[in-house]
Amino acid sequence: MTAIGSAARFAPVRLLGRIHPSYAALLVLLIAIAFLTPNFLSPLGVMAFLRRGASLAIVSVGQLFVLSMGGFDLSVGSLITLAVMGSALMINNDPALTWHAIALVYLMGIGSGLFLGLVVSYLKVPSIIASLGALLSIKGVALAWSGGSPQGYLPDNFRQFGRVTYHDVPIIQVLPMSVVVLAVFVAICAWLFHGTTFGRLALIVGDNPRAADLAGVRVRLVRIVGFLVSAVSAVTAGILLGGFAGPAQDVGDGFELQAIAANVLGGTQLLGGRGSVAGVVAGSLTLTALFTVLNLIGLPKPLRDAVQGGILIAAVAYSVRRQGWEK
Amino acid sequence: MGAGLSMAEAAPRFEMRGIRRTFPGVVALDDVSFSCAAGEVHALCGENGAGKSTLIKVLGGVHQPDAGTILLDGKPVRLNHPLEARRHGISIIHQELSLLPERSVADNIYVGREPGRLGLLDRAAMRAGAETWLRRFGCRFGADAVAGSLSIAEQQVVEIAKALVFNARILVMDEPTAALDETETERLLALVRQLRAEGVAIVFISHRMRHLFAVADTITVLKDGKLVGTRPRGATSPEEIVRMMVGRELKDYYPARRARAPGAPVLTVAGGGNEWIEGIGFELYPGEIVAVAGLEGSGKAALGRAIFGAAPFSRGQMVVGGQAVRPNTPLDAIRLGIGYVSDDRKAEGLALRQSVLENALLAMRGIAAIFSRPGRTAPRGRGIDQLLREVDVRAAGYDQQIRLLSGGNQQKTVLARWLALAPRILVCAEPTRGIDVAAKAAIYRLLRAYADSGKAVLTITSDLPEAIGIADRLLVMHEGRLAGELPAGATEEDVVALAAGHQFEAAPA
Ligand SMILES: Nc1ncnc2c1ncn2[C@@H]1O[C@H](COP(=O)(O)OP(=O)(O)OP(=O)(O)O)[C@@H](O)[C@H]1O
Ligand SMILES: [Mg+2]
């Protein structure tokens, strides 16, 4: 049919329309970085950039699963902190315990995601409140456990995920392990979101949960899986950050808001119904590029935070405007 | 003749000239002229997607025309925003209900123009004002009721009050009767006549010929964004209007019934009841269409929801295909082979920003394994594309967002969603609400063909002629109970009498 054919022809254009603001901003920022740092446009520079952006990209993609179904997961930042601090405490200088610790922090993440999902879908607590509560309690647990100051130390076999770089790789020359983790995680999420029934249902639940329920969709299950993916993404990001930066009590601070901002930049609709993994990855890299530029021009940390907050508001305002235009 | 003065007097309250409005890929309005005088009821009709809502959205400042002019009392105006239109006394009741579900009726009626003194809300004045309007309409709910708890018909009444509460000089009603039953419709039409007598210019959009002819002074027909013609009511007939709308004679509006082979019932309910209904007992056989009629609030909607497990029976028995069952959720019911088309398409039927395709696939997605590949093929092996073509959904493409489709096409998509699962019992609540005559005929044909394929259809409808025209049997409800059963060929009087609660000494067999 001709009508359907023409719609198919326009599909790529529409896809571009969905993520283009982020791509445009990303391009401008990358050019800025290239000017500010001479060797940025080498494989080494690009890989270093991706390595820096990997954890944010991972939590952002995780956040997509909750945002697209009309929720928020504000607990991811403190879950990152818990993953880092918990690993350091559990390993306690014994490299033999690394894998146990990793398994345990994933279990904690899954427990937290499951709990949030259950609370939101059975007790009908708005996810923004439930996850804010989770943020506070998880952070409290992390701080109490570590006795208020960073303790323990992360052995090399833990830190490799965030730190190790393979050399002499053909074509790209270098390949940080965190970029491999990023690629694998994004691939799995892209499959989940775009290649399974679950992904379609997530968008439908975000669009109209009542209609989904009346069509036999297991809305609660869909919501719970969404929170699980988000929690697992936070733990994964935490493991990379622990290797990258070492144990610190504030490693995860602000990641929840950055992840939401990355989603908005990447075309995810707040309150649900729309979003794509590719868009979110682009959005998160845009934010990373922005932080890099702010860093390079020498803005102090408090000012950087202020700028970041401003950008979050601007991005949301823009996306709301854009949704308004579509009407 | 004192030309100047009488010309001014003759100037219509509003006049739209040569209006053109396009959307990406569609010309929604092409050179349309339309006007309405003070004290006139001007009906606007046409098929789904003809451009009726777009035309009145242009009048209401929601959309700006690409070409053409709007004159109010003979003076050209530009309406760049709904608020500007409102300032000119133009009040529009949009087709899509837009109440704030969490707020009270009074809050909703006064939203955006709350009466107040010194910046404080005058709640007493709001409540009193709202009550006046509710009384005028004979409502059973008060100004403090929460909007979300009202039925669609009741919400419609609140929308009307909301439009009338500041003195409208021009009142536009986009399908106000779609959700109303006969009594409420009568009340609305009486109100329209009263407002006409007060000199309000009224535009009335409806797909129901009976309502148009009951109230309109003039009728204008649109087709594919173009003006087909304007007729005084006295000089035309429903047949002519339908012909103008559809572009051809519409034959076999209700499809022929076929004798059904006797067999075991597919559904039996005995003593079924819950919070809203009581003592429900009936049987449903494969191959038949049974219509449930009754006034708004009679429990007919609750009956459909109970069977589908959305608001389950808490008492009594339900037998499906010979087995006692108790569906407590929609998913339970779907697994038993029951489908349900909701009467509130927008709130309960559609994921508006998703594609036609995803909406059509939704029920299949619901029962699919959650991490399975999202397929496009119905269990019977038919592709969903083919099914959408069969039910004749017209869209720019099946990956177009469903909110951009006309009501009739949205409804056909919801039907396709259930046909894809081929449930043995299909419950349809108001299956033709807000859709045009041609689409209605198409849906009647689809439902009849579905029944003929050996499935059972239970339609719940406030449209009496539809209930009588399509059903093999009628169940009539009154105050939460089944008041009686009528065979095909029952008259409207029979149904109305039962629905009103009149008891007969000897009920007709
Ligand atoms: N915002 C929009 N974007 C794109 N197309 C639109 C938009 N609004 C309406 N259309 C298209 O314009 C045409 C006219 O639509 P309109 O809603 O005016 O029809 P209608 O006569 O009110 O139909 P119905 O009886 O179903 O309410 C349709 O083809 C519709 O798909
Ligand atoms: Mg319309």
Judging contacts by C-beta atoms under 8 Å, the chain B residues touching residue A216 are 330-331, 334-335, 363, 366-367
- B50 close to ligand 1 (CB < 6 Angstrom): yes
Put simply, whether B347 touches A (Cβ < 8 Å) is: yes
b/e sequence A20-36, b meaning 16+ C-beta within 10 Å:
ebbbebbeebbebbeee
Q: How far is the CA of B24 from the centre of ligand 2 (A)?
A: 18
Average pLDDT over residues A170-194: 93
A7–B348 CB contact, under 8 Å? no
Q: What is the pLDDT of residues B249-301, one digit of tens each?
A: 767 788 888 777 778 999 999 999 999 999 999 999 999 999 999 988 899 99
Q: What Cα–Cα distance (Å) separates residue B378 from each residue in A203, B149, B335, B373, B409?
A: 21, 36, 15, 13, 20
pLDDT at B360 over 90: yes
The pairs formed by B209-216 with CB atoms below 8 angstroms and a separation of 24 or more are B209/B238, B209/B241, B209/B242, B209/B437, B210/B238, B210/B465, B211/B177, B211/B185, B212/B43, B212/B45, B212/B238, B212/B241, B213/B238, B214/B189, B215/B41, B215/B43, B215/B189, B216/B41, B216/B42, B216/B43
Judging contacts by C-beta atoms under 8 Å, the chain B residues touching residue A210 are 347-348
Average pLDDT over residues B400-423: 91
Q: How far is the CA of B223 from the centre of ligand 2 (A)?
A: 13
Q: What is the pLDDT of residue B42?
A: 97
Q: Which of B329, B370, B354 is nearest to A228 (CA)?
A: B370
Dist. CA A258–CA A52, nearest whole Å: 14
H, E, C per residue of B257-308: CCCCCCCCCCEEEEEEECCCCCCEEEEECCCCEEEEEECCCCCHHHHHHHHC
Put simply, whether B404 touches A (Cβ < 8 Å) is: no
A215–B417 CB contact, under 8 Å? yes
pLDDT confidence bin for A169, thresholds 50/70/90: confident
Average pLDDT over residues B407-423: 92
Compute how many other C-beta atoms are within 10 angstroms of the C-beta atom of residue A303: 11
Of A234-243, A313-322, B74-83, B302-311, minimum mean pLDDT range: A313-322
Query: Which chain A residue lies closest to B414 (C-alpha atoms)?
Result: A215
The distance between the two most distant Cα atoms of chain A, rounded to a whole number of Å, is: 68
Of B16-30, B182-196, B388-402, B410-424, minimum mean pLDDT range: B182-196
- Closest-CA distance, A149 to chain B, in angstroms, reads 42
pLDDT at B5 over 50: no
Dist. CA B490–CA B37, nearest whole Å: 41
Q: What is the pLDDT of residue B509?
A: 41
Dist. CA B180–CA B38, nearest whole Å: 26
Which residue type sits at A142?
A
Dist. CA A324–CA B63, nearest whole Å: 13
Q: Which of A214, A221, A273 sits opposite B342 (nearest CB)?
A: A214
Put simply, whether B350 touches A (Cβ < 8 Å) is: yes
Q: What is the pLDDT of residue B378?
A: 57
Judging contacts by C-beta atoms under 8 Å, the chain B residues touching residue A214 are 308, 310, 330, 340, 342, 348-349
Q: What is the pLDDT of residue B8?
A: 41
Dist. CA A266–CA A286, nearest whole Å: 9
Of A131-140, A160-169, B14-23, B449-458, minimum mean pLDDT range: A160-169
Put simply, whether B331 touches A (Cβ < 8 Å) is: yes
pLDDT confidence bin for B62, thresholds 50/70/90: very high
DSSP, res B355: B
Dist. CA A311–CA A265, nearest whole Å: 10
Which residue type sits at A114?
L
CA of B207, nearest ligand number: 1
Higher pLDDT, A313 or B400: B400
Task: Answer for the pair A279, A268: CB distance below 8 angstroms, yes or no.
Answer: yes
Of A292-301, B252-261, B415-424, minimum mean pLDDT range: B252-261
Of A226-230, B249-253, B344-348, minimum mean pLDDT range: B249-253
Tokens found for residue B66: 């690409």
Of ligand 1's listed atoms, the one at least distance from the Cα of B175 is: 27
Query: Which chain B residue lies closest to A273 (C-alpha atoms)?
Result: B353
Q: What is the pLDDT of residue A150?
A: 67
DSSP, res B377: B
For residue A110, the number of C-alpha atoms closer than 13 Å in the C-beta half-sphere is: 6
For B155, residues 6+ apart whose C-beta sits below 8 A from its C-beta are B97, B99, B147, B179
Write phi, then psi, for A173 (nearest 5 degrees): 65, -60
Query: Which chain B residue lies closest to A196 (C-alpha atoms)?
Result: B373
Q: What is the pLDDT of residue A185?
A: 97
Task: Answer for the pair B41, B239: CB distance below 8 angstroms, yes or no.
Answer: no
**Ligand 2 ion: residues within 5 Å (CB):** B 53, 95
b/e sequence A263-284, b meaning 16+ C-beta within 10 Å:
bbbbbbbbebbbbbbbbbbbbb
- B437 close to ligand 1 (CB < 6 Angstrom): no
For A145, residues 6+ apart whose C-beta sits below 8 A from its C-beta are A85, A86, A89
CA of A324, nearest ligand number: 1
Q: In what order do the strands lie in the sheet with B14-23?
A: B26-36, B14-23, B67-72, B75-77
- Closest-CA distance, A3 to chain B, in angstroms, reads 6
Average pLDDT over residues B223-250: 89
Count Cβ atoms within 10 A of the Cβ of residue B493 and give its class: 0-12 exposed, 13-18 middle, 19 or more buried.
exposed
Q: Which of B211, B206, B251 is nearest to B465 (CA)?
A: B211
Judging contacts by C-beta atoms under 8 Å, the chain A residues touching residue B366 are 201, 212, 215-218
Q: Which helix (H) or strand (E) holds B407?
A: helix B407-419
Put simply, whether B320 touches A (Cβ < 8 Å) is: no
Count Cβ atoms within 10 A of the Cβ of residue A107 and give its class: 0-12 exposed, 13-18 middle, 19 or more buried.
exposed
Q: Which of B420, B470, B477, B463 is nearest to B444 (CA)?
A: B470
pLDDT confidence bin for B2, thresholds 50/70/90: very low
Task: Answer for the pair A202, A69: CB distance below 8 angstroms, yes or no.
Answer: yes
Which residue type sits at A231?
A
Q: How far is the CA of B236 from the centre of ligand 2 (A)?
A: 23
Q: Which of B340, B365, B395 sits opposite A197 (nearest CB)?
A: B365
Put simply, whether B9 touches A (Cβ < 8 Å) is: no
pLDDT at B6 over 60: no
Q: Which helix (H) or strand (E) holds A287?
A: helix A277-296
Average pLDDT over residues B471-495: 92
Q: What is the pLDDT of residue B233?
A: 93
Count Cβ atoms within 10 A of the Cβ of residue A9 and give its class: 0-12 exposed, 13-18 middle, 19 or more buried.
exposed
Best of B26, B29, B345 for a ligand 1 pocket test (most atoms within 8 Å of beta carbon): B26
Q: Which of B353, B369, B370 sits opposite A274 (nearest CB)?
A: B353
Residues in chain A: 327
Average pLDDT over residues A228-236: 98
Of A300-314, B1-15, B67-81, B144-158, minimum mean pLDDT range: B1-15
Q: How far is the CA of A70 from the centre of ligand 1 (A)?
A: 27
Q: How many A×B Cβ pairs under 8 Å? A: 109
A204–B354 CB contact, under 8 Å? yes
CA of B225, nearest ligand number: 1
Q: What is the pLDDT of residues B89-129, one digit of tens each?
A: 999 988 777 788 888 898 888 887 776 666 666 788 888 88
pLDDT, chain B, mean: 88
Q: What is the pLDDT of residue A302?
A: 84
Tokens found for residue B489: 């060929």
pLDDT at A298 over 60: yes
Dist. CA B66–CA B111, nearest whole Å: 31
Dist. CA B164–CA B228, nearest whole Å: 30
- Closest-CA distance, A25 to chain B, in angstroms, reads 26
Q: What is the pLDDT of residue A20?
A: 55
Judging contacts by C-beta atoms under 8 Å, the chain B residues touching residue A197 are 365, 368-374
Report chain B's terminal Cα–Cα distance, integer Å. 68
pLDDT confidence bin for A297, thresholds 50/70/90: confident
A216–B331 CB contact, under 8 Å? yes
- Within the 356-395 window of chain B, which residues sit less than 8 Å (CB to CB) from chain A? 358, 361-363, 365-374, 385, 389, 395
Q: What is the pLDDT of residue A188?
A: 98
pLDDT at A3 over 80: no
Judging contacts by C-beta atoms under 8 Å, the chain B residues touching residue A1 are 389
pLDDT at A325 over 70: no
Higher pLDDT, B375 or A287: A287
Higher pLDDT, B335 or B4: B335
Q: What is the pLDDT of residues A63-89, one digit of tens each?
A: 999 999 999 999 999 999 999 999 998
Q: Which of B350, B363, B397 sits opposite A6 (nearest CB)?
A: B397
* CA B92 centroid distance within chain: 17
Dist. CA B406–CA B419, nearest whole Å: 20
Rounded to the nearest 10°, the torsion over CA B245, B251, B255, B259 is 170
Average pLDDT over residues B74-102: 87
Percent of the residues in chain A that have a pLDDT greater than 70, as a whole number:
89
DSSP string across B127-154: HHHHHHHHHHTT-SS-TTSBGGGS-HHH
pLDDT at A326 over 50: no
A3–B396 CB contact, under 8 Å? yes
Task: Answer for the pair B378, B384: CB distance below 8 angstroms, yes or no.
Answer: yes
pLDDT at A267 over 50: yes
Dist. CA A44–CA B288, nearest whole Å: 72
Q: Which of B342, B351, B371 sits opposite A197 (nearest CB)?
A: B371
A200–B417 CB contact, under 8 Å? no
Dist. CA B193–CA B266, nearest whole Å: 47
Average pLDDT over residues B185-210: 89
DSSP, res B62: S
Judging contacts by C-beta atoms under 8 Å, the chain A residues touching residue B348 are 208, 210-211, 214
Judging contacts by C-beta atoms under 8 Å, the chain A residues touching residue B331 are 216-218
